[in-house]
Amino acid sequence: MKNRRILLTVLVSVVMIALTAVGPASTHGQTPKKLQIGFITSMTGFGSHQMKSFPQGAELCADWLNGKGGINIKGQTYQVEIVVQDDKGTAEGAASAANRLVNEDGIKFIVGGIPVFGVIAINSITEPAKIIHVSLWNNTMPDEFGPKTPYTFLTHISTLGGMESALDWLKEKYPNVKNVVGIMVDDGAAPTIGQLVSNQLQKRGLSLKGDLVRWPPDTVDFSPIATKAIQRKADAICWLNGWTEGLFIKAVRDQGYKGLIMSTTFTEPAITMEMAGKPASTDWFANGIVAGAPQNPPMVQMVEKMAQAKYPPVRNYQFEMFQAVWSLTQAIQSAQSLDTTAVKNAWEKMDAFETVFGPGGMGGEKTFGIKHAIVYPAALYGLENGQIKFLKWQKVTIP
């Protein structure tokens, strides 16, 4: 009896070990592994009311890639997993989040950083450790992105791309506009952005009227800023960056200004109109994707459907974060390696990229001193008589 029990136990153990060794069904007879991608965003603190939803786009990309079988690297399949960390809206928080991902979780690929202090803080951890950092925005500050940050890549056409697309549209559609007054948040980047916009305007035979009108980051009432902007009597008002353009539009229109207001940055059409109010939402254009526009590329339409199903309402940041993760995984697949130096080298050699927004490429050699910026078309939209209107998909080059 006792011998029978021992025999049964041994038999069950052997069967269980055999089953564990075989594992679940997998491609090429191997179990899929996980490719963890860190995502740093503000889940609390400054900017969190918007940025806490940024991981949605990354999650959508992960779902899409995993649904197609994951990423294949030398015969091994990897399922993408997004690991989110909170930067608490501060530089210290961003550094701490990066530190946790790199040194505690052992993650080698990080997506994150929009405000300049966040990008620089993440770089301070990722660059010495040779971790690939996909930056989500460029504020044109020297320490943010360039030869000193060889493991950082930029997947958003950002300030410069936005300027190019919006100013080309201005030149094409508003030939009577010869000068603009520039409005921007006083976040330390004003001297560099001021110079940049001045150069971009001059390239197109236009000019900046007076110095930039700068507003403190915690401004809630834009009436005084609107008064100052209107008083400059420029041909148009140009909102350069910041996140409260709707309030500014309303303040300007409330004071009787009927001219053109434009933006070179990327804004959310529905939110801009919500903040400005329908009566003020006219004679405005900016960079931004109009959800549902038939002119949108197939990938935009696909991501839109996914976002509508999983994370409604559809917002532009979902496309941008999808793009960030997709770019990174394309580079990893091109390298056929998870070694970060191999991925960096492969990424630098890629001239063409598939992007959510259409055919893309790499640029930035002349502008940033390093060819680490993905370039793709920008969508322009307008607000006319309280309606959102698709304008154009505009080609962008970042030399």
Partner 1 sequence: MEMAAQMTINALSLSALYVLVALGFALLLNVMNTLNFAHGAIYMVGGYICCELSDALGLNQWVSLAASALGVGLFGLFLEKYCFRPFYGDISRIVVMSVIIILVLETTANVTMGTDEKRIPSFVEGIIRAGGMSVTADRMVTILVSTLLVIGLSWFIRRSRLGQQMMAVAQEPKGATLQGISTNRVSAFACVLGCGLAAVAGSLMGAILVLSPFMGDYMLVKAIQLVILSGIGSLAGILVSGLIIGALDAVLPVVTSGAVTQTVGIGVIILLLLLRPRGLFGREV
CB closer to partner 1, 44 vs 333: 44
Check binding of 55 to partner 1 (CB under 8 A). no
The verdict on 73 binding partner 1 (CB under 8 A) reads no
Q: How far is the CB of 218 from partner 1 (least distance, A)?
A: 5
Cβ proximity to partner 1, 107 vs 189, nearer residue: 189
Quote the least distance from Cβ 77 to partner 1, whole Å. Answer: 34
Q: What is the 3-state secondary structure (H, E, C) of the chain?
A: CHHHHHHHHHHHHHHHHHHHHHCCCCHHHCCCEEEEEEEEECCCCCCHHHHCCCHHHHHHHHHHHHHCCCEEECCEEEEEEEEEEECCCCHHHHHHHHHHHHHHCCCCEEEECCCHHHHHHHHHHHCCCCCEEEECCCCCCCCCCCCCCCCEEECCCHHHHHHHHHHHHHHHHCCCCCEEEEEEECCCCHHHHHHHHHHHHHHCCCEECCCCEEECCCCCCCHHHHHHHHHCCCCEEEECCCCCHHHHHHHHHHCCCCCEEEEEEECCHHHHHHHHCHHHCCCEEEECCCCCCCCCCHHHHHHHHHHHHHCCCCCHHHHHHHHHHHHHHHHHHHHCCCCHHHHHHHHHHCCEEEECCEEEEEECHHHHCCCCEEECCEEEEEEECCEEEEEEEECCCCC
Among 32, 146, 194, 277, binds partner 1 (CB under 8 A): 277
Which range of residues in 44-52, 60-68, 162-170, 357-365 is near partner 1 by CB under 8 A? 44-52
Decide: is 247 part of the binding site for partner 1 (CB under 8 A): yes
- Smaller CB separation from partner 1, 48 or 124: 48
Site string for partner 1, 287-316 (x = CB under 8 A): --------------------------x-x-
The residue within the footprint of partner 1, chosen from 80, 94, 238, 275 (CB under 8 A), is 275
Enumerate residues 125-154 that contact partner 1 by CB under 8 A. Answer: none
- Please identify which residue in 32, 36, 48, 334 interacts with partner 1, judged by CB under 8 A: 48
Contact window for partner 1 (CB under 8 A) among 7-15, 64-72, 123-131, 248-256: 248-256
Question: Applying CB under 8 A, which of residues 61, 110, 271, 300 lies at the interface with partner 1?
Answer: 271
Q: Is 44 in the site for partner 1 (CB under 8 A)?
A: yes
Binding mask 227-246 for partner 1 (x = CB under 8 A): xx--x------------x-x
Rule CB under 8 A: which residues touch partner 1? 44, 46, 48-50, 52-53, 186, 190, 211-216, 218-221, 223-225, 227-228, 231, 244, 246-247, 254-256, 270-271, 274-275, 277, 313, 315
